Amino acid sequence: MEFEQTRRIFEKARERFGEDVSLSDRPNTEGSIVVEPSRIRDFTRWVRDEADGGFDFFGEVCATDFLGRSPRFDLTYTVYSTTANRHLHYKTRVDDPDPQVDSVVDIYPGAGWHEREIFDMFGVRFNGHPDLRRILMPEHWRGHPLRKDYPLGGEEVQFSSNFADITPQTLPPAPGEDIFLGWDVLETQPSSYTQLLESGAELEHDGEGRMVINMGPQHPSTHGVLRLLLELDGENVVKAVPDIGFLHTGIEKTGESLNYQQALTLTDRMDYLSPMGNNLAFSLSVEKLIGLEPPERATVLRVIFAELTRIQSHLVWLGTHALDLGAMSAFFYCFRERDQILDMFEMVSGVRMMTSYICPGGLREDVTDDFVPALERFLKVFPDRLGEYETLLTRNPIWLERTQGVGKISAEDAVAYGVSGASLRGSGVRWDVRKAEPYCGYETYDFEVPVGTNGDVYDRYLCRIEEMRQSHRIIRQALSRLQPGPVQAEERKVVPPPKSEIGQSMESLIHHFLITTIGFVAPPGEGHVPTETGRGLLSFYIVGDGSPKPYRMRARTPSFANLQALPRMLEGCLVADAVATIGSIDIVLGEIDR
């Protein structure tokens, strides 16, 4: 989105909200509108319904702690329009002590978990939020980890078992000193599931015939460490409450302590089925912050790898999804092709999963000579292989029985919850970031965006199958465009000079030395580029402060938002359908918990 568009929307907002809105134009960004906290609900409603045709899709709200500034916290809302293909950032600013703002959960239901995450990580309270609890950290946790005055490392982990011992010495200073310690969470005991039910999950016990069961966190079909609390009436799911955070590794916090190249490696580990997609999203945001344009060959290769990643990610999804529902063989077929792709990853990056291959400025290195032949071999066989999968499943009566009409979600609900990717398109919303807000030249490729009609498990299945076919198409086109050339931008202040030069040139040696040891310096500003990964809308929101490290590295991950809609899909399902539904939204807990 261009700055001019933001300005146009701002001018309309000015007419409506007067002095309560202002325009923030930090460098290198598309700009954002800053709203007084008191008007945030009015403004959000206006943005959803009226502003420039309305922004129906809630991307995220994230916070940034500008310690030492008043007001201290920036809350940045990002909303998208699925019809007009654009997005908008708007901000509100809240201050210490007791930072709080009105919740927008009733306007955008999708804000629910994002607001909880901010409450958890920053201690900002959202008034009117129906279920404001910690979401990633345990209930008893003390302090808000993403605040800038929270230590970056070295402190002891607060388990419930050692909490009493470590409290006085190793926790952040007491209230009134520097660190705000949170509301009354200290009184809350470590959550047992019954307490969780009572504390806010709105589940009721009516005594007769109902029971609450734990599905996960050790359940094989939750695809990671997800815990679902299912309230059952017989075999029917009455309510489902996801409990996440078991895999929280503090990636956003860690990112603030690493320089940009090092932070890149965290993105691999976030969504481990889509490393290149994550690398790409991160690199695009950083490049936008710096104002850097990778060379043509790098862009084409990026498209190839992004689509290969999408295919391999879908293959894992398909294999395990079918396995969950008892179809064993699909798994072996899928992993056969996935291995071909991982072989290619290994060829170019030396690593099968944690590639860190796409990096700010282009690619780590050019592809090896055997890559293109390997890719061609893959492209040759893949359409047939795709046919094999379909033969196994698409008209298989058991498969149809298990998936059709199961886990339905309407298009309106899906949009409102911020569901993206095939999970959204299965409900008939034709919104794909590659088409809506193209990056890497996707607008120049010829491909279709498949959509479903019913929004059930089967339609999501069909969408992903077709997406693999379309990805195959895109790779073919990209391969035909691949020309020799550099794969890294010619900006020596960001991209280290080639190794061959550093034995000859002092200038090159110094640049190589500093970029490697300390990191390149990104200017103050913000970078944000939405991308479409196998799971949906992934974007990094990078705040630079003129140092080699990101001041804030926020990841808006598709699985996080998609999982939020799961309870909606599960209402009225059978327990067995829960397995099918979880599989169909293709979550990766690594990127949900980060």
Partner 1 sequence: MSEELVTLTIDGVTVRTAPGTLLVEAAAQAGILIPVYCYHPKLAPVGACRMCLVEVEGAPKLIASCTTPVREGMVVYTDNQRVKKAREGILEFLLVHHPLDCPVCDKGGECPLQDFTYQFGPSRSRFRYPKRHWDKPLQIGPNILLDRERCIMCFRCVRFCEEISHHRQLGVFRRGNNQEIGTFPGQPFDSRFAGNTIELCPVGALTGAPTRFFGRTWEVGHTPSVCTGCSTGCNIRVDTRHGSEVVRLWSRENPATDDGWLCDPGRFGYGFVNEGRLEEPLVESGGQSVSATWQQAIARAGAVLEQHAKAGTLGILASPRMTSEELFSVSKLARTVLKVPHLDHTARYVHPAAVDLRAFAASAGFTPGTLRDIQDARQIITIGVDLSREQPVTDLRVKKAVTQRGAHLVVVDAEELELSAFSRHTVLWQPGDEAATVMSLANAVASPSEANGMRAVGELLRQEGPKVVLLGWRIGESPDAGRIGESLAALAQALGPGTRCVTILRHCNSRGALDLGIYPAEDPVSGRGMSGEEMLRAACEGRIRALWLVGEEPLQDADPGLVRRAMDNLEALVFQGWSLPSWLERVPDAALPSTTFAEMDGTFTNTHGRVQRIFRAIRPKGKSRPGWDIVNDLAQALGHPFESRTVEAVFEEMCAATPAYRGLAWNALGVAGRESQADSAAAAAAAAQG
The stretch among 386-394, 413-421, 434-442, 510-518 that binds partner 1 (CB under 8 A) is: 510-518
Q: What share of the chain is helix, strand, coil (3-state, %, to 5)?
A: 45, 15, 40
Q: By CB under 8 A, is residue 34 in contact with partner 1?
A: no
Q: By CB under 8 A, is residue 167 in contact with partner 1?
A: no
Among 84, 493, 498, 546, the residue binding partner 1 under the rule CB under 8 A is 493
Angle at the Cα of 309 from the Cα atoms of 306 and 311, rounded to 5 degrees: 115
Among 223, 464, 511, 554, the residue binding partner 1 under the rule CB under 8 A is 511
Comparing C-alpha atoms, which of 150, 114, 147, 146 is closest to residue 132?
Answer: 114
Q: By CB under 8 A, is residue 258 in contact with partner 1?
A: no
Beta carbons within 8 Å of 464's beta carbon, 6+ residues apart: 314, 317, 318, 422, 586
Q: By CB under 8 A, is residue 513 in contact with partner 1?
A: yes
Q: By CB under 8 A, is residue 508 in contact with partner 1?
A: yes
Please, which residue, 95 or 507, has the CB nearer to partner 1?
507
SS3 (DSSP) at 249: coil
Q: By CB under 8 A, is residue 257 in contact with partner 1?
A: no
Among 518, 523, 546, 572, the residue binding partner 1 under the rule CB under 8 A is 518
Report the C-alpha gap between 385 and 337 in whole angstroms. Answer: 8
Q: By CB under 8 A, is residue 38 in contact with partner 1?
A: no
Neighbours of 207 (CB within 10 A): 6
Among 174, 211, 398, 510, the residue binding partner 1 under the rule CB under 8 A is 510
Report the C-alpha gap between 565 and 567 in whole angstroms. Answer: 6
Among 507, 523, 546, 572, the residue binding partner 1 under the rule CB under 8 A is 507
Among 37, 428, 486, 497, the residue binding partner 1 under the rule CB under 8 A is 497
C-alpha dihedral sign at 503, 508, 514, 517: negative
The first and second tokens of residue 59, run together, are 């991307």
Q: By CB under 8 A, is residue 174 in contact with partner 1?
A: no
Q: How far is the CB of 170 from partner 1 (least distance, A)?
A: 14
Q: By CB under 8 A, is residue 517 in contact with partner 1?
A: yes
Please, which residue, 69 or 493, has the CB nearer to partner 1?
493
Q: By CB under 8 A, is residue 503 in contact with partner 1?
A: yes
Q: By CB under 8 A, is residue 156 in contact with partner 1?
A: no
Q: How far is the CB of 307 from partner 1 (least distance, A)?
A: 34
The stretch among 8-16, 460-468, 490-498, 573-581 that binds partner 1 (CB under 8 A) is: 490-498
Q: What are phi and psi of 275, to 5 degrees?
A: -60, -45
Q: How far is the CB of 515 from partner 1 (least distance, A)?
A: 8
Q: How many residues does the chain have?
A: 594
Please, which residue, 407 or 519, has the CB nearer to partner 1?
519
Report H helices in 213-259: 251-255
Among 258, 392, 509, 574, the residue binding partner 1 under the rule CB under 8 A is 509
The stretch among 126-134, 200-208, 469-477, 498-506 that binds partner 1 (CB under 8 A) is: 498-506
Give residue 355's Cα distance to chain centre: 18
Please, which residue, 32 or 508, has the CB nearer to partner 1?
508
Among 51, 502, 566, 570, the residue binding partner 1 under the rule CB under 8 A is 502
Q: By CB under 8 A, is residue 506 in contact with partner 1?
A: yes
Q: E-strand spans in 360-490?
A: 362-363
Report the C-alpha gap between 462 and 470 in whole angstroms. Answer: 12
Among 332, 505, 523, 572, the residue binding partner 1 under the rule CB under 8 A is 505
* 523: DSSP letter: P
Inter-residue contact 305 to 440 (CB < 8 Å): no
- Longest Cα separation, the chain: 81
Among 23, 514, 574, 575, the residue binding partner 1 under the rule CB under 8 A is 514
The first and second tokens of residue 17, run together, are 């909200």
Give residue 12's Cα distance to chain centre: 31
The stretch among 185-193, 398-406, 508-516, 550-558 that binds partner 1 (CB under 8 A) is: 508-516
How many amino acids of this chain bind partner 1 (CB under 8 A)? 18
Q: How far is the CB of 364 from partner 1 (least distance, A)?
A: 19
- Amino acid in position 338: R
The stretch among 27-35, 104-112, 309-317, 492-500 that binds partner 1 (CB under 8 A) is: 492-500
Q: By CB under 8 A, is residue 183 in contact with partner 1?
A: no
H/E element holding 529?
A: strand 525-533
In angstroms, the Cα distances linking 145 to 95, 120, 248 are 17, 8, 12
Give residue 375's Cα distance to chain centre: 28
Please, which residue, 259 or 564, has the CB nearer to partner 1?
259
Burial class of residue 395 (count of CB atoms within 10 Å of its CB; 0-12, 13-18, 19+): exposed
Please, which residue, 136 or 290, has the CB nearer to partner 1?
290
Q: How far is the CB of 506 from partner 1 (least distance, A)?
A: 4
Give residue 523's Cα distance to chain centre: 24
The first and second tokens of residue 336, run together, are 């056969």
The tokens 């011992």 sit on which residue? 165
The tokens 């995220």 sit on which residue? 60
Residues forming the site for partner 1 (CB under 8 A): 492-493, 497, 502-511, 513-514, 517-518, 521
